[in-house]
Structure formats: C-alpha cells, structure tokens
Amino acid sequence: MDNLYSLTAGELLGLLDKKTIKPEEIIESVYSRAQSVDKKIKGYLNLDREKALSRAKSLPSSGKLKGIPVAVKDNICVEGELTTCASKILRGFKPPYNATVIEKLKSEGAVIFGKTNMDEFAFGSSCENSSYFPTLNPWDTARIPGGSSGGSAAVVSADEAVMAIGSDTGGSIRQPASLCGVVGMKPTYGRVSRYGLIAFASSLDQIGPLTKDIKDAALLLGVIAGFDEKDSTSVNVPVPDYASYLKNDVKGVKIGIPKEYFVEGMDKEVEASVREAIALLKGKGAQIVDVSLPHTEYAVAVYYILATAEASSNLARFDGVQYGYRCEDPANLLDMYERTRGEGFGAEAKRRIILGTYVLSSGYYDAYYLKAQKVRMLIKNDFEQVFKSGCDCILTPTSPTPAFKVGERSADPLSMYLSDIFTISVNLAGVPALSMPCGFTKSGLPIGMQLIGNFFEEGKIFNAAYAYESNTDWHKRSPKL
C-alpha cells in the first residue's frame, strides 16, 4: 500500500496484526510523505530515516503500539537525540537519558520518529517563536499552526506523522490541535509523568497526545499515563482502559455550557460550529445545562504571573556552564553568564524571564505571585462546583478564532496571549481537557471544540468525544498539500 501515511494508528495496527504490512513499510511511507510536504510545513527539526528504520526492525513482537511511528516535541528528552526546546541556548544538547514517556512508548513498540518544532521553551501560541524557523499551518501556509506544540499538530494534520506527543502548559496541545484540525488532549495534572520534560512552568506542564482521531488519542494516552516514582508530582491513580469508554452513546450524559466561554468578540463561525456541536450531542440524548465559571475573567492574568514566575526560575539553569550554547571568548565569568544568556535566549523567552523575575522580587511577591495563587484556587473551585453539581464534562470552544496569519500578532504580545483564553483555566485547575474538530470556516480553516472533565475522568471526555466524532466527518478531512 502506498498511502499508509494517511491511516490512523488503529487502522495500521489492524494491518500489522493481519501481517499485511511490516513496520518498515509504515516508516518508509511516512518518511516519504514528510520528505514531500515538510518543506512547505516545516514541522520537523530532526528526522532521520535510517535511525527510524533501525528502530522499526528491532521492535519487540508485542505491544500496544508495535510499529507505529510517534513524533516527539523537542522539549521531551530522547537519549542521544538533539533536544533543544527550539532554543539557541540548548543548541547541540543531547540528553543522556529518556523521558519516562519515551520509555513507555518504546516498551509498547512505538518507533520514536523525529523531533518536532515548537515555540522556544513552549513560550507562544503560534509556533513563530522557534529560534530555527516558524512552522506553518497545513490548511493554509500563510497562517500559523498554533503553539507551542505547533510542530506536533502540523505533522499529524499533514500526514507526516501517525501520532505525536506534545506538552500543554496553557493550551499548547489543544490550541494547535484546534487550528490544525486534529485531536489533542491535556491529561489531569499528575496523570502523565513529567520526568524528562524540560520544564516551562512546573505546576502547569503536562505531556499529552496529538492524533488523527479519538480512538488513537485514547490509545496513546493509555500508553503514556501512569504513576512514576521519578516525578514527585505524579499521582498513583490506576489508569483505566480508555478504549472501554469509546461508545457511541451519550444518553443521560450531563454536559455543562459555561456562559463565560461564549463572549462578545469571538469569531462568529467558531461560535456557530460549537453551538451546532452542542445541538448534535443534545439530539443524541446528552443533557445540556447552563453552568458558570465566574472567575474565568482572571485566568489570563493569573496564568501569566504564575507561569512566568516558574519559567524564570526553571530557566536559571541555562547559563552556558552545563548545557548547550556558550558565548565565544568571554572576558570573565560574569561576561560569560551575561553574554551566553543574552545571545542564547530569544525575545519572548527574555520577556517572560524578566516578567517572572519581577513578580517574584522582594516587595512584589505578595502583591502579584501570592495573590495570583489565591485567585488560582478560586478558578479551581469553580470547576469543582460544576462537577459537584453532577456534570460529566464541560463543552467550550478551544480557540476564540481560527488560525491567524503569520506575523499578524507578533508585535502585540497581549493579543497573542489572549489566543489561549479558553484553555488556560484548565491548566490552572489541573483538570483534563481535549480539543477535537467540530467544523470548518467558509475559507476552509478548522474549528475546534474543547471537552473538559473532572480530575482523572479522562474516560468521560473520551466517551462524549467519541460519540460526537462517530456522528460527524470533520476528522476525516485532510489538507491539500
């Protein structure tokens, strides 16, 4: 078969089980596709055909993902592979160990297939802040794919990868999934180990799947989820069989619609598509109820105080001594520190380090950081109240607009930050959420909707998402490249 690259992991695993195809054929097909289209998309930072083929030939004979290539965001450590966070300051860095998610993928037979582009250190909502090059949206290459996991979302959308792994700190899996027309999930905080994920904001970061459909998302999350003693924030909660939730039946499922997520100024086509999705689920028997998340309006401000504070602390380790880039011919130690960081970090990274250092500084800690932590608790309480009222999940738009044009918001950081206005609260609360396709604009751009669940109830999200997907064909459409 010459179109293996266009199939889902579930379809490919069926062919592998029947011994109709070999893992090497999948690698050759996907690699050939990437060679053909990635010059337009620029989703990959590193892609090595020989290494992927060698891995495919040495696979175990069993495993949930045997023979399936999985692309990996460049902030997740793969032993001996370049891992740079798309930043100059980590240029040339090769970790001496695998992230826990990489070990889990390999133990189930997945082929680690290339590292994908991202906003530097996951700082961005457009994938334009990479120190290498911007990634472009497969549906319209004049537009951004979303960020910061824009590379992972774009290569899945363009059939350059069967599945991909991304990270989500404020919407960095769900927003690009929405703008590229694929499925992306941020699990409950603590559900997936962060060991080996280069930290942006440690209390918000989560690793999650980007896939072509809901079935693949459930499969991939089932592989990477689970307790890890190497991560002190990992939670020892049993991982259910997510496939058991994939039923085309939402009768009696209670779905909350928060009024704060349908605001003036959002794109009319986005709102119309999401409301049509709500109507479809209601028609299939779901119970639709109005709910309120009253502290949503503070989420963006709280997020950019807490996330930048944690980022400024986490990035202090990159000083030219232990990792990656170091300036040439420093005059002394202080000159080496200053020039290495000045030359190594990009503009957005510097902006966030400065902002984070400011809010943590003496005299401002109580006014900004401490107050933001208190408001974060109110945002978390909002979600808990909704789920205590009996809601199984909450449905919202993922992004207030479809993909915007390259460079359109580069000079306006606040406008860029508002791209994640519907996804940030989820990270602050720590609950799981998924973005999936729910329509297209008249100009052919994907629109995504978000399903939010209670802590460790990803299964209920998969149930509602699968029921919707089973009655629509948005996920089957592919960009013309």
Q: Which residues are catalytic?
A: 73, 148, 172
Cβ pair 295, 379 in contact under 8 A = yes
Contacts of residue 427, defined as CB under 8 A and 6 or more positions apart, other chains included, come to 168, 169, 170, 171, 186, 189, 204, 206, 303
First to last CA, the chain: 20
Partners of 116 in the β-ladder = 44, 73
Buried b (16+ CB within 10 A) or exposed e, 434-463: bbbbbbbbeeebbbbbbbbbbbbbbbbbbb
Tokens 């606040």, located at residue: 414
The full 3-state SS of 145-174, as one line of letters, equals: CCCCCHHHHHHHHCCCCCEEEEEECCCCCH
Give CA–CA dist 134/122, Å, rounded: 13
Strands 287-291 and 254-258: parallel
Helix H or strand E segment including 31: helix 23-41
- Name the DSSP letter for residue 248: S
Buried b (16+ CB within 10 A) or exposed e, 64-100: bbbbbbbbbbbbbbbbebebbbbbbbbeebebeebbb
Give CA–CA dist 413/424, Å, rounded: 16
Q: Which amino acid is at 88?
A: K
Q: 3-class SS at 430?
A: coil
